[in-house]
Structure 1
Amino acid sequence: MVELFERYFGIHNKPNVSAPHWAKSILDSCDFEFQKSIVEKLQPLLYLNLELCFVERNKREIHYEAFTEELITANLNGIESEAAFLKPSNSNPPYPVIVVLHDHGGFYYYGKERIFMDDSTQPFLREYREKFYSSKRWALDLLERGFAVFCPDAFYFGKRRFPQELIKIFVDNKTYEQLTSLTEGSYEFIKLFNRVSSELEGIIFKNINFYGTNWPSILINEDIAWLNYLLKRKDVDKSRIACMGFSLGGFRTLFLSALKKEIKASLVIAFMSEFSKMLGQTSRHTFMVHIPSFTRFLDLPDIAGLILPRKLFVMQCSEDSLFPVDAMKSAVAKIEEYYSRANCKHNFSYKFYPNSHQFNLYMQEDAMNYLFLNI
């Protein structure tokens, strides 16, 4: 049983793995004492390895008029995952790259595809984009601006979704038989798979803890490993890399940008708050963002303090039911204080949008303009 879970969770996520301790390299690059304090507090909470790197196993290209879609299958200590690298036709390598870390949204069957895939035969994608993205394949706007886009699947989504051999352990026979009787990729299959994956999040969270790690460590380690893969590519302009993400993607962007200085500008979209102020009805978030004991020592704005003096734009939704308004406001105020103390206040910006939890047309336009000016 342990070996089965190990193949899915990843042996590199356990704290007893012999690997260079991640905190030392971060501490050596800290410019301010408050950053060192943040790293020292974060160190015992996450089981990370900043040197992890996905190894490419297979690559295939699909050519469109405006861009080339490159699908990369890669391996990390026995774990197989997939990322998409979208290369614009209107520019040449080495490309400036926007790393896009996808959101949650209860849509587990797909990961990276939600930001760019043609949805003509995928009603779930169409419905999803209508709800969260104003019906846009917004990654294509980045390509029009001359950026390449790199988007990996996150743990528990897309090609890293929960495997059926493990689903069988947790669900009743009737549900499992129903799932396996459906054609994979069909509307009914995706609908049932998403429901099952959602219902199992709590128990998977417990099993990850029993395994000896935590969910954010798995997410962040794989994002680190994909970024390190990207940095090895000759067609990437290493001096022009940005990272952005909506919702869960914003959480992932925050931590990846804090830990990897190669990221020059970051956009955290609809995921900035003080967790310590979220007791009550707003604490309905996915188990994926829970770091045990985190708020006893730190909070999300403190992690943003590791990004400075690099550029950061926080986009907030003022009617977001997932966060208390006062916690969103105090979070950006705290980040602004960090940037002010470091004499780089001009590199931090934030904006509140009068809408619910989404990345709509107005937010997309601001994001595109921000990246165009800052990368």
Structure 2
Amino acid sequence: MKIENKEGPEKMPRRAFLKTTAYTSALPLLMGEHYITGISSEQIKTINNFSMSSEKSLIGGYGPWAVSLLPKVPPLSFRNDKWKDLASWKKQALGKTMELVSSPPKVKAPAVTVVNKYVYDGLEIEELTWQMPYGRPTSAILLKPQGVSKPLPAVLGLHDHAGKKYFGYRKIVKTSDDQHPLLKEHQETNYEGKAWANEIAKRGYVVLVNDAFAFGSRRVFYEDVKGLDWGEVKTTGKSDIDPEKSENIETYNTWSSEHEHVMSKSLFCAGTTWPGVFLSEDQIALDILSARKDVDSNRIGCGGLSGGGLRTVYLAGLDPRIKCAVCVGFMTTWNDLILNKSFNHTWMTYTPLLPQYLDFPEIIGLRVPLPTLVLNNNQDELYTLAEMKKADNILTEVFKKAKASEKYAAKFYDGPHKFDAKMQADAFEWFDKWL
């Protein structure tokens, strides 16, 4: 069989072609010589390599073909040999990424209302709210060491997803001894019983944690929705219903998970993306944090687990005000998502067409040479270990080429998806080192 491509004809055994393209059911149609145009030798090699290692993928026999569509080294990757100058590469890569992320138009930082102030566990706590141009008001919590008056370094704490949209910032803070049982369980499972935002605030940081788009105060309220009915949802906040009852919260979380693909499609139709909306709203929170008199605006970091790690990838990659970043439990490659793990992941992950220009780790790699730490779990069910290691290799190469190897580190821990006490200690030490 002869295969023609842009780089000229190549010979490929007929049996190998049938194996790599999973066309074995069409044997009678493939007798004789046939020609395939538009497939490069590199793509054929990718298909061959995949087929030799695995016959199956999440999308069946289409897996090798889908992987072959991605360039081996994307054109806007700093690893690409054509990029010699860091500044010129960054200008091009940031510009294209911002174009594809398509955040809603930037708005002026809104007025912030302090709803309540009190002291708990040695921390001064402020309950805050602000109104975006759309949706219900955003709720947030601010924590800082009690009695400190000088400007401090700050961290924007980015809460996780976990399939629990009823809660937002409350997942990673603790503001009283009376904690909702679902939040207590969540922190025990994911954070070894610790409210990590509180823990780092105690080390001398101002910490702001805001509800992300579609979570907590920013969630989609069922009573605002028409045209959809996915079971009995009782978390409407009406006077005769207890929205904080665990069974009502679980019902809402199930409904909101089903609603996620609807929201994502609607955002695409509006000309934006979920990562773009996350980025826009997290940048507003960053505006608010930066403007505080008790914050040193030149020493601000961000970090989070899982969905918080995802938000870290985009915010830290695209906003240079983040001087130090810690991404926890959200690092892999587009290949991993194509072949193995897309079903595990939220719609909030994806920016259409971006994989043609950058591999997933290279989104946060856009911040090079600013300090960046990635924490992974060896048995994390959301990724394959091989692709987590590959992502580490990619970022290592990016920082090395920028002559900033000391500004990047990745660590791997035994265990499932989590941000436990040991990982928190390593993350906090990274913030201390660079902030």
Normalized against structure 1, the TM-score is what?
0.86
Stretch deviating more after TM superposition (46-55 or 228-237): 46-55
Q: Distance in 2 between matches of 1:119 and 1:161?
A: 25
- Give the equivalent residue in structure 1 for 2:119: 63
SS at 1:291's partner residue? coil
SS at 1:175's partner residue? coil
Q: Distance in 2 between matches of 1:109 and 1:119?
A: 20
- Give the equivalent residue in structure 1 for 2:182: 124
Matched, 1:109 2:109: no
Query: Match for 2:201 among 143, 149, 152?
Result: 143
Structure index of larger Rg: 2
- In 2 relative to 1, CA 121–101 (structure 1 residues): closer, same or farther, beyond 3 Å? closer
- In 2 relative to 1, CA 43–244 (structure 1 residues): closer, same or farther, beyond 3 Å? closer
- Give the equivalent residue in structure 1 for 2:4: none
Q: What displacement does 1:72 show?
A: 1.3
- Give the equivalent residue in structure 2 for 1:76: 132
Percent identity between the aligned chains? 31
Report how many aligned residue pairs link the two structures.
Answer: 345
Q: Quote the RMSD (CA, aligned, Å).
A: 2.1
Q: What displacement does 1:246 show?
A: 0.8
Query: Match for 1:86 among 130, 140, 143?
Result: 143
Q: Distance in 1 between matches of 2:105 and 2:330?
A: 23
Q: Determine if contact 1:109/1:193 at 8 Å carries over to the other structure.
A: yes
- Give the equivalent residue in structure 2 for 1:165: 223
Q: Distance in 2 between matches of 1:151 and 1:323?
A: 26
Could you tell me which runs of 5 or more consecutive residues in structure 1 were left unpaired when the two chains were aligned: 1-29
SS at 2:111's partner residue? strand
- Give the equivalent residue in structure 2 for 1:331: 391
Moved over 4 A (4+): 176-181
- Give the equivalent residue in structure 1 for 2:360: 300
1:220-259 map, 5 Å = 220-259=279-318
- Give the equivalent residue in structure 2 for 1:214: 273
Q: What displacement does 1:305 show?
A: 2.4
Stretch deviating more after TM superposition (120-129 or 35-44): 35-44
- Give the equivalent residue in structure 1 for 2:80: none
SS at 1:106's partner residue? coil
Could you tell me which runs of 5 or more consecutive residues in structure 2 were left unpaired when the two chains were aligned: 1-84
Matched, 1:314 2:370: no
- Give the equivalent residue in structure 2 for 1:45: 100
Q: Distance in 1 between matches of 2:88 and 2:392?
A: 20
SS at 1:343's partner residue? coil
SS at 1:55's partner residue? coil
- Give the equivalent residue in structure 2 for 1:10: none
SS at 1:279's partner residue? helix
Q: What displacement does 1:199 show?
A: 1.6
Q: What displacement does 1:57 show?
A: 4.2
Q: Distance in 2 between matches of 1:312 and 1:81?
A: 28
- In 2 relative to 1, CA 91–50 (structure 1 residues): closer, same or farther, beyond 3 Å? farther
Q: Determine if contact 1:67/1:86 at 8 Å carries over to the other structure.
A: yes
What code does the residue aligned with 2:186 have?
Y
Higher relative contact order (CA 8 A, sep 6+): 1
